[in-house]
Chain A
Amino acid sequence: MYEIDSKCISCGKCETTCPVDAITMVEPASAGDPEPKIDMNACTYCGACAKNCPVDAITIEKSTPSNTWPEDEIAEIAEKAETGSVRVRGTSARRELPDFDDLTVRNAQVSRPPIDHYREPCETKVNLGSRHAEKPLELEIPIYIGAMSFGALSKSAKEALARGAKEAGSAVDTGEGGMLPEEREISDKLVVQYASGRFGVSAEYLQSADAIELKIGQGAKAGQGGMLMGDKVSQEISEVRGTPENTDLISPARHMDIVGPEDLKMKIRQLREIVDWEVPIIVKFAAGRVEEDVKIAAKAGADAVLVDGMQGGTGAAPNPTLENAGIPTLAATSAAHAALVDIGLREEVDLIISGGITSGSDIAKALALGADAVSISTAALVALGCQVCGLCNTGRCPYGITTHIPELEENLDVQKRGHSVENLLDVFTEEAAMLAMLAGKTSLFSLERQDLRALTKEASEMAGVPLAGSSE
């Protein structure tokens, strides 16, 4: 297929360039100057005619694309050869991956009665981390907004998320950039993250938390640390993080003092001593070796584990890591639940999952597979106006979400977007409740694995759920 635009200047360069003599300049049917005609039988789609046209008048499309060398892969390889660097971008994996959409919920009829969503109640409250904490994290809904740092996000974005979470009876998470004072002021429940870079960490930071999230990794960049380039470290960011201005801020790929299981046990105990055993310690993993990691965290004394699947998002990560590291959230959820059952700590340790949750139906299915709560991040950014385009790492987000340029940040209306975030949390909860109730439950937490069926063989094996049509 090809097209010649009217801007063609009839220079004939394409005719001379074509290596297989497939192009001839011919008089057009109507009056006018000569135009190139391409013999599609001879054409090999090398694209040289289009590349050499001085006015970009030729568009030409491959009719026999290669699955080994598709157009987008060719373009990526060309980019690597040109730039000499690994592509870094924001958001998450773009490839197709098995997820909760591949499961369906078995509805009640007469073998058990459906509960009517329009007038009958459904329990949504959850308490997390009561294993050792004197004050578990009490949430009105089993959803909280995940770790996104001030630095990755703008101040306005952090404020809007805190507002929305508070109104919905949920919690927000500081992320690894330290505590923005406004975030603690506005939010009701605040989870503070303790990550490998130790930015903004102090006794005050930890003691003002409602829960502590010990970050070992995140799903988007499974097994890797991160970097905030020096020229993006503004004065305010460096103040909150406690670092000198304009220094590259590296988060190492691991905590320098957590190299093995016994180190994790000491670290959890250290954090407990700093906060006088009051609040829950949640250990966050990038889902990869889920069974081993979850068992270690449970035995090391964690009150909860947060398992982040490969569909999780980020402000900046290398493309190969986003697309090829970690395992899907669907598989991670079942594996984490099974690991806790296997070591006899399922009732003691709470399971939170995250990574590409896009609806309340995902949440209902995650709870059925064993999660006690979920965390959402990218979806919350969409409520702020995010289009999931991936340019977060450039710092030029036109919606004011992942930028610190004042003119761009002004585009984020904190009041309005705070309300949008509240709406999102409310609707996700309602969707999850609908699925629970149509399955015959009066509580989100009565959902069980046996309420699900899989629609594909992959999802069935990954989630440990029979295919639709089988009995249990």
Chain B
Amino acid sequence: MCGIVGIIPNESKKVGGELIEMLNSLQHRGTDSAGVAVYREEFDREDTYRLVAEVTDKPGSFGGLGNAIGEAGGDIRNISFRPSPHGEKGLNICTLRVPGEKELNQVIKKINSSEVANVYSYGKSVQVIKDLGLVDDLEEGYEISSMTGTHAIGHVRFSTESGVDRKHAHPFHTEDLPDMSVVHNGQITNHYKVRGELERKGFAFSSGNDSEVIVYFIADQLRQGKSLQDSLKASVEHLDGPFSYLVATSDGVGVARDKLGLRPMAWVEGEGGKYVASEEVALLDTCRSSEIEYFKPGEVRVFEHAKN
């Protein structure tokens, strides 16, 4: 069992604070790990991107991350290092400059394959911060409540079938598409089969977690030219098991719920924006409206963020 939340505010604001409050109210659903994907405001310059990576034990790694980005054709502008409150490797929250998205993808693949660092998110706006332990530990280590953004998703984890470490924590991000992350509650019961199909199409998975299958499935659908809405619809048909998940892109947040409605998902339109969560308790704490709606079994929906 896990807990997931999503916030799509009416205007870009300190979304981090409400995110932490909502996650805290769902802490009882899982204490193995906590994580968020916050979509920050885009930089004015077209060629400036964000990246979050964990540096490995490989000798010379720390300087290595900056070097690796440099060697791969990128130009690092800023690195902010945060140690892990739980003894995991620290996270490097970076800003970098590359000519375009193609070069950006190359930088990411090069860094991941060099084993100098593991990239947890990259793109124009997304920053994924995740670690072992409680929501409070995440806040203490990374000051999530100070983060502003256009939208965000978050997760608390109760591990079911795969390992407990940062790599297996949510949100998941692909190595192939920037600014796309997923948080998931439930199990994909045919995930080996679907993973096999996607691996044969060329996608490389980094963990044994069934949730990772969702983000690559959606990435594959988007690559075929489908809209996020249609991609989510396809996922509800193709993936089996009890599930609710949120897929966030730079445009907004997509929601999907399995056909038998075995995992919960509710949302509300509050004064500040739209709020989505596994349990009503997360919605009551943060908004002032009591008109909570429930997603129907098999329903999919996309909430686009307000463009300022």
Contact = CB atoms under 8 A, between A and B. Distances in A.
Direct contact of A and B (CB under 8 A): yes
Interface of A: 108, 111-113, 115, 120, 341, 344, 346-347, 439-443, 445-450
Given A120-B260, A440-B241, A441-B240, A112 B187 contact: yes
B200 A344 contact: yes
Nearest to A440: B189
Given A440-B187, A449-B192, 18 more contacts: A111-B161, A112-B242, A113-B242, A341-B196, A346-B196, A346-B197, A347-B197, A441-B189, A441-B240, A442-B260, A443-B240, A445-B190, A446-B189, A446-B190, A447-B190, A448-B190, A448-B193, A450-B192
Contact of B189 (A112, A120, A346): A112
Interface of B, secondary structure class, is loop
Contact of B240 (A111, A341, A446, A450): A446
A108 B196 CA distance: 22
B262 interface: yes
Nearest to B197: A347
Interface string B234-271: 00000011100000000000000001101000000000
Given A111-B161, A347-B200, A441 B262 contact: no
Nearest to B195: A448
A449 B196 CA distance: 11
A442 B259 contact: yes
11 contacts: A108-B189, A112-B161, A112-B187, A341-B200, A346-B196, A347-B200, A441-B189, A442-B259, A445-B190, A446-B190, A448-B190
A112 B190 contact: no
A40 B196 CA distance: 66
Contacts of B241: 112, 440-441, 446
B161 A441 contact: no
B305 to A, nearest CB: 33
B260 A115 contact: yes
Nearest to A111: B160
A446 B196 CA distance: 13
A431 B192 CA distance: 23
Interface of B: 160-161, 187, 189-190, 192-193, 196-197, 200, 240-242, 259-260, 262
Nearest to B263: A113
Nearest to A347: B197
Contacts of A447: 190
A113 B263 CA distance: 11
A439 B161 contact: no
A113 B262 contact: yes
Given A113-B262, A115-B260, A347-B200, A442 B192 contact: no
Contacts of B200: 341, 344, 346-347
A446 B193 contact: yes
A149 B271 CA distance: 73
Given A112-B241, A113-B262, A446-B240, A441 B190 contact: yes
Nearest to B193: A448
Contacts of B197: 346-347
A392 to B, nearest CB: 39
Contacts of A113: 242, 262
Contacts of A344: 200
Listed from nearest, the 8 A-B pairs whose CB atoms lie closest are: A446-B190, A446-B240, A112-B187, A448-B192, A440-B189, A448-B193, A111-B160, A450-B192
B32 to A, nearest CB: 14
Contacts of A439: 189
Contacts of B196: 341, 346
Nearest to B190: A446
Nearest to B160: A111
B2 to A, nearest CB: 13
Nearest to B161: A111
Residue in B160, B193, B197, B242 with the greatest tally of chain A CB atoms within 10 Å: B193
B161 A442 contact: no
B278 to A, nearest CB: 16
Nearest to B189: A440
Residue in B160, B192, B241 with the greatest tally of chain A CB atoms within 10 Å: B241
B187 A442 contact: no
A174 to B, nearest CB: 33
A437 to B, nearest CB: 11
